[in-house]
A and B are shown apart, each in its own frame.
Chain A
Amino acid sequence: MTLYAFYAALQQGLVYGIMAIGVYLTFRILDFPDLTVDGSLPLGAAISAVAITSGVNPWLSLLLAMGGGFLAGMVTAVLTTRFHILHLLASILTMTALYSINIRIMDGPNVALLGRQTVFDWGLSLGLPSPWPELIVFVGVSAVVLLLLIWFLTTELGQAVLATGDNPQMIRSLGVNTSFIIILGVGLSNALVALSGALVAQHQGAADVSMGVGTIVAGLASVIVGETVFGDRTLTKALLAAVLGSILYRLAIGFALGLAFFNPSDLNLLTSVLVVVAMITPSLKRRLFQR
């Protein structure tokens, strides 16, 4: 692996790590497998790109992207809680609808950001060479997201979110409207995924309608690899593990794709295999050691 490839994998791991935090929130905390993310990642990218090309400040465009992601998550959660559509199906419906919506937003399948302002421009004016401005922005945004989320989950409301995933019957009988909590949680998760998508678009210099394909699998890979390698004994550790898992996942993929045998199009196959291996390893271990 070249140093260039290493930095690229590190950057990707960090920026998609924010998405992995969102996936952790639905998949692990709320016990709500949510495929909306395949649509809300490009949604965030599209909103941010269109906002920037219309002259909006790139930092502000991140907030707009998060708002869009939150709405997308809300749609899935409302379909599930109010209309009792199975969560997986509801999220597939939203994801499918988002494909068309994203093209509408961009007025085409993609928007280029070449020569436009981005959140990395300050590095250039300070004379910092790539990849440092990108790395600093990604680490900074990840840290803010992690700190805010960890703080939120210790509040009265946050504790109700955790309890809703853990024992919904119990927390309802303690007076919590679990539908509201699920709408809030899935919204929040997709806001983070959209934020990740917006940063990816600014980093790549373009938003593309197909950039969301495989987001959920990459997110699950990050969460599961993180849990397996770094542990998930406390909530703080588990959230941090999702980000570290994302970095590890991108490094592993970067390394595998660097081998002459693999094509870049093998990414999805490799990711699926990686997730399956990580998921069955614990039970395989148990079986082997019992005999």
Chain B
Amino acid sequence: MITLTNIIKYFHKGSVNEVFALDKISLHLEEGDFVTVIGSNGAGKSTLLNGIAGTFFPDSGKIEVDGMDVTHWPEYRRAALVARVFQDPLLGTCPAATIEQNLALASLRGKRRGLGRGVKTADRILFREALARLQLGLEDRMLDKVGLLSGGQRQALTMLMATAVRPKVLLLDEHIAALDPKTAGQILGLTREIVEGQKLTTLMITHNMNHAIAFGNRLVMLHQGRILLDLSGEKKAGLTVKDLLEQFYHAQGEELATDSLLLG
């Protein structure tokens, strides 16, 4: 469904602030793969997702989605294939627009926008049903502005909007990190329901190793712009947090060792 081949990305190349963000990343996801992505800060997790979404173009390498080479497609064009949910609940919705207007905007993802009515009567019924499934009472507040909703409600709405048109790839960038624990749990439950229910090809970044193990059929650990660990199937199912931490420190230790050799 999605194939990354030797993606290399530098930020601020040639300046003192140069960052080698993605170091020859290659990754292939089959249709329906639900991949959790972990790694320390600066490992390149968000950069990887932004690269797939088209926020920037890679310095070299190739990105294919659904058999199409999208490497040089701008962000808005890739949106026809790729849906995303951001960490910040404020980023995924329009505060000044109503709930139904937001859903209507999302239901046209990747489609032509013409002079037809923004919110169609037939769509309202569908929106209502979809909102009712969230069990947050939002189906009775369809004319409320989204700015009035809480962070958790907005993030639930964003999940609904991201999947209103079935995406080829769904990108979840620490989408529960800004929520309180109870709300985070609800959104995580909703995520499992939607992703597994609709068998969406998904990349989910998380800082929580328990979640990384409990969710999805595959786990990828990034470190310094490289894929350090890529486990799926039984290997992933048998993982414990202790294993992951060991792997992580092992990788870091190796790096320390080489550093001390260099400096020594």
- Chain A residues proximal to chain B, CB less than 8 Å: 152, 154-160, 162-163, 166-167, 169-178
Pick the most buried of B77, B104, B105, B119: most chain A CB atoms within 10 A of its CB.
Answer: B105
Nearest-neighbor residue (CB-CB) of A159 within chain B:
B118
Kindly list chain A residues whose C-beta atoms are within 8 Å of the C-beta of B151.
Answer: none
Kindly list chain A residues whose C-beta atoms are within 8 Å of the C-beta of B249.
Answer: none
Bound-state CA distance A163–B97 (Å) is: 8
A162 touches B96 (CB 8 A): yes
Nearest-neighbor residue (CB-CB) of A157 within chain B:
B113
In the A-B complex, the 4 residue pairs with the closest CB atoms? A175-B79, A159-B118, A156-B113, A175-B110
Kindly list chain A residues whose C-beta atoms are within 8 Å of the C-beta of B80.
Answer: 175
A175 touches B111 (CB 8 A): yes
B102 vs chain A, min Cβ distance (A): 8
A166 touches B106 (CB 8 A): no
Nearest-neighbor residue (CB-CB) of B53 within chain A:
A173
With A175-B76, A175-B79 as known contacts, state yes or no: A154 contacts B97, CB within 8 Å.
no
Chain B interface residue count, Cβ-Cβ cutoff 8 angstroms: 34
Bitwise, B62-101 to A at CB < 8 A (1) or not (0) is: 0000000000001111011001101000111111110001
Kindly list chain B residues whose C-beta atoms are within 8 Å of the C-beta of A154.
Answer: 117-119
Is B116 located at the chain interface by the 8 A CB criterion?
A: yes
Bound-state CA distance A169–B79 (Å) is: 12
Kindly list chain B residues whose C-beta atoms are within 8 Å of the C-beta of A171.
Answer: 94, 105
B136 vs chain A, min Cβ distance (A): 20
Kindly list chain A residues whose C-beta atoms are within 8 Å of the C-beta of B96.
Answer: 162, 166
Looking at chain A's contact residues, is the secondary structure mostly helix, strand, loop, or mixed?
helix
Pick the most buried of B76, B86, B95: most chain A CB atoms within 10 A of its CB.
Answer: B76
Kindly list chain A residues whose C-beta atoms are within 8 Å of the C-beta of B114.
Answer: 155-157
Pick the most buried of A155, A162, A167, A175: most chain B CB atoms within 10 A of its CB.
Answer: A175
Looking at chain B's contact residues, is the secondary structure mostly helix, strand, loop, or mixed?
loop
Bound-state CA distance A152–B118 (Å) is: 9
B105 touches A155 (CB 8 A): no
B118 touches A170 (CB 8 A): no
B105 touches A159 (CB 8 A): yes
Nearest-neighbor residue (CB-CB) of B82 within chain A:
A173
Kindly list chain A residues whose C-beta atoms are within 8 Å of the C-beta of B91.
Answer: 167, 169-170
- Jot down 7 A-B pairs with beta carbons below 8 A, ordered by A: A152-B115, A156-B117, A159-B101, A167-B95, A170-B93, A174-B105, A176-B79
Kindly list chain A residues whose C-beta atoms are within 8 Å of the C-beta of B118.
Answer: 154-156, 158-159
B94 touches A167 (CB 8 A): yes
A173 touches B84 (CB 8 A): yes
Is B109 located at the chain interface by the 8 A CB criterion?
A: yes
B40 vs chain A, min Cβ distance (A): 25
B79 touches A162 (CB 8 A): no
Kindly list chain A residues whose C-beta atoms are within 8 Å of the C-beta of B104.
Answer: 156, 159
Nearest-neighbor residue (CB-CB) of B158 within chain A:
A170
A121 vs chain B, min Cβ distance (A): 34
Q: Which of B76, B83, B92, B109 contacts A177 (CB under 8 A)? A: B76
Bound-state CA distance A178–B55 (Å) is: 13
Nearest-neighbor residue (CB-CB) of A171 within chain B:
B105
Bound-state CA distance A162–B77 (Å) is: 20
A194 vs chain B, min Cβ distance (A): 23
Bound-state CA distance A154–B97 (Å) is: 11
With A156-B108, A156-B118, A159-B118 as known contacts, state yes or no: A172 contacts B94, CB within 8 Å.
no
